[in-house]
Amino acid sequence: MVDDGRRPLSVKERVLLHLHGRILIEGRWDAPVELSQSGVSHAVGVHRRHLPRTMRRLQESSLVNIELRHIPNITRRVQVYGLTNRGYQMADELLNIILKWNVESQDGTVPLSNLVKSSSEALEYLHPQESIKESPAIGRLAELVKVAYEDGILTTAEERLLDTAALELHVDRKTLERIKNRIANDGKNGNDARLIRSALMTALADGHIDENEERILRRLAHESGLDDEAYSTLVKHTISESLSLEERAYFGAMEAIDWIVDEKNPFLNDLQNALGIDQEQHDRLHTITRAKLN
């Protein structure tokens, strides 16, 4: 095989790839969290306290601009980073080089360009975030998620709280979702909720929850100590996962109007035609609303 020059990416190169395509808009007072110290340090795999030295060197090389900007929902201004014209040119050249690297795939050895197109995708493939040692900020957020998941389900209020905490800790949404997925799948958390979830999936297998199944589900929820909001959230998530995209959209629209509509109403016909929902699907989707506690 011809040597294509593949090698580990340096921190400098990882920074260039992360910032490539993420524009720091001139004249704006704010910036996305991905351009902050926390966002960059997590993406490139270095502790936040070590990043400023790297970024100053890139600034001295005229590759990066450093500014103070507001991050959404953060009261104080923080350092954010953006590539200069020279930095973009160097990132473009780097991306063109690494897209030619050969990597292993299900189809054998192929150029990286067969699997990814953007600089962020290339960085994620060559330096996946899952392999990065978590920073203290991410560790603190993980502890908050673990506490919220003690009953096996995140309520709407808990979701909002975690979103706020992530913003305050400068942790991007993708990382927050990764943490939540990891903890949600941890066998030590929420065993009772997982039992109810399994029962829900079984009840929904035929697309219908009858009155007997409904009674059993409610009794399981109450005996497990799940309050009404936690149970309703669990039901909502489980129903959503059991439906197709079209059924999910239709179900959401009908839930918004409490299923109160004349069957001859043009709105209902237009919605069903647009999403390909027939009367049988309508009836089936209507029945599963009974699983929700009033």
Per-residue pLDDT tens for 220-244? 777 766 667 777 777 777 766 667 7
Alpha-carbon gap, residue 78 to 43, rounded angstroms: 17
Question: pTM higher than 0.75 for the full model?
Answer: no
Would the pLDDT of 134 be above 90? no
- pLDDT score, position 20: 94
Is 3 a residue whose pLDDT tops 60?
no
Which pLDDT score, from 0 to 100, does residue 27 have? 82
The Cα–Cα gap between 83 and 63 comes to 6
Extract long-range pairs of 250-254: CB within 8 Å, 24+ residues apart. Answer: 250/275, 250/277, 250/281, 250/282, 250/285, 251/285, 254/285, 254/286
Two tokens, residue 283: 């009836």
Average pLDDT over residues 248-277: 79
Amino acid present at 143: E
Give the range with max mean pLDDT: 113-122, 153-162, 164-173: 113-122
The lowest-confidence range among 9-13, 36-40, 209-213 is 209-213
Confidence check: pLDDT of 188 > 90:
no
Please, what is the angle between helix 156-168 and helix 173-184, to 10°? Answer: 130
Q: How many CB atoms lie within 10 A of CB 253?
A: 16
pLDDT tens for residues 64-89?
999 999 887 666 788 899 999 999 99
Indicate the CATH number of 11-131 among 1.10.238.10, 3.40.50.970, 1.10.10.10, 3.20.20.120: 1.10.10.10
Give the E-state strand segments of 71-107 in sequence order. Answer: 77-83, 102-105
**Is pLDDT above 80 for 186?**
no
Residues of the chain within CATH 1.10.10.10 domain(s) are: 11-131
Q: What mean pLDDT comes out for the span 269-278?
A: 82
State yes or no: pLDDT of 288 exceeds 70. no
